[in-house]
Amino acid sequence: MKQYQGQTISWDLRDGVIEMALHREPLNEIGSQTLEELEKFVGVLDALTHEAHALIIYSTLKGGFCAGADLRQLYGWFQEFGQSEVARHAREYLERIHAVMNALDAAPLTTIAAVHGVTFGGGFELALTCDMILADKLARFCFPELRLGLIPSFGGIPRLKRDVGNAVVRDLLLTGRSFNATKAQQIGLVSQIVGEGEVLRAARATASQMAKFDRITTQSAKRFMKPIPLDELRREIDIFCELLPQPAVHAGLKKFVENTTAQPYLP
């Protein structure tokens, strides 16, 4: 399936590069529909890699790359399954999203996240699965989960720890603050910063450069440079599911979902 046009994502394989576009309004919140379409992508990834050497993930939405997990859906699970069963349902969901993220992380081609604007929570975690992150100079990153009484659950902490020092990890996680592309580059998360509206072009140029190298060598180098922290990823799911039934989480989600002010993305 070289081309796919879905409800939340689409992809197109052309000239050895797969371009995956995220396009779920309002800001690419990752819920069940996105997960199903990402699973569809991962299911055909092996076939696609016969013809592709690179994958670019980007957003077509003006507001940014991705605001993270679909918190309205998570809140809905509390109503649907009740406080006692919500963790069991969340675990099933997380097992699936981790399988997708791990497959993207280990994909036998070079992966580039081309991000702009809001790159928060699950969106940041999706970007962290990629081999490199290229950022528009107005990109902004954040792990806001502790504001809700939770921790990131799509692999964020283990992958952040893989890439940056623990002092930075603790600062970003424990304050829930957002930070810009310059800071992200200073701490080693972003490899290139480009002008406004230029990130997809830069990602294409980078993918084109990578096509010059032997694919077997590139894949070997990637496996050597980027081990997947599987044990910590498992532990992350456990901790998230332990925290989820806490009353503070339900209260935090309720506050977010019912927030009608113009400031839900500010702390």
Partner 1 sequence: MPTAEKTLDEILTLAAAHFKVPREKLSPDDDFFKTLGIDSLQALDLLTKLENHFHVELPDYELQGVADFRTLAGKIQARL
One-letter amino acid at 156 equals G
Rule CB under 8 A: say whether 65 interacts with partner 1: no
Is the CB of 23 or the CB of 177 nearer to partner 1? Answer: 177
The stretch among 3-11, 173-181, 235-243, 248-256 that binds partner 1 (CB under 8 A) is 173-181
Using CB under 8 A, pick the residue from 6, 63, 76, 108 that binds partner 1: 63
Rule CB under 8 A: say whether 220 interacts with partner 1: no
Using CB under 8 A, pick the residue from 73, 180, 192, 219 that binds partner 1: 180
Is the CB of 78 or the CB of 179 nearer to partner 1? Answer: 179
Rule CB under 8 A: say whether 183 interacts with partner 1: yes
Rule CB under 8 A: say whether 107 interacts with partner 1: no
Using CB under 8 A, pick the residue from 16, 176, 229, 245 that binds partner 1: 176
DSSP string, 63-110: TEEE--B-HHHHHHHHHHHHHHHHHHHHHHHHHHHHHHHHHHHT-SSE
Rule CB under 8 A: say whether 185 interacts with partner 1: no
Using CB under 8 A, pick the residue from 118, 169, 233, 249 that binds partner 1: 118
Let me know: does 211 contact 16? Beta carbons within 8 Å. yes
Determine the Cα–Cα distance for residues 179 and 210; give it in Å rounded to an integer.
Answer: 29
Is the CB of 89 or the CB of 137 nearer to partner 1? Answer: 137
Determine the Cα–Cα distance for residues 84 and 223; give it in Å rounded to an integer.
Answer: 40
The stretch among 43-51, 96-104, 169-177, 240-248 that binds partner 1 (CB under 8 A) is 169-177
What is the side-by-side order of every strand in the sheet holding 54-59? 3-5, 9-14, 17-22, 54-59, 110-115, 132-136, 192-194
Rule CB under 8 A: say whether 264 interacts with partner 1: yes
* Tokens found for residue 7: 């409800």
Number of helices (H), then strands (E), belonging to the chain: the values are 10, 11
Let me know: does 184 contact 119? Beta carbons within 8 Å. no
DSSP string, 133-179: EEEETT-EEE--GGGGT----SSHHHHHHHHS-HHHHHHHHHH--EE
* Tokens found for residue 55: 């994958």
Using CB under 8 A, pick the residue from 167, 216, 225, 266 that binds partner 1: 266
The stretch among 132-140, 154-162, 202-210, 248-256 that binds partner 1 (CB under 8 A) is 132-140
Q: ∠ CA(192), CA(196), CA(197), 5° rounding? A: 95
Using CB under 8 A, pick the residue from 91, 177, 215, 222 that binds partner 1: 177
Residues making contact with partner 1 (CB under 8 A): 27, 63-64, 117-118, 137-140, 175-183, 262-267
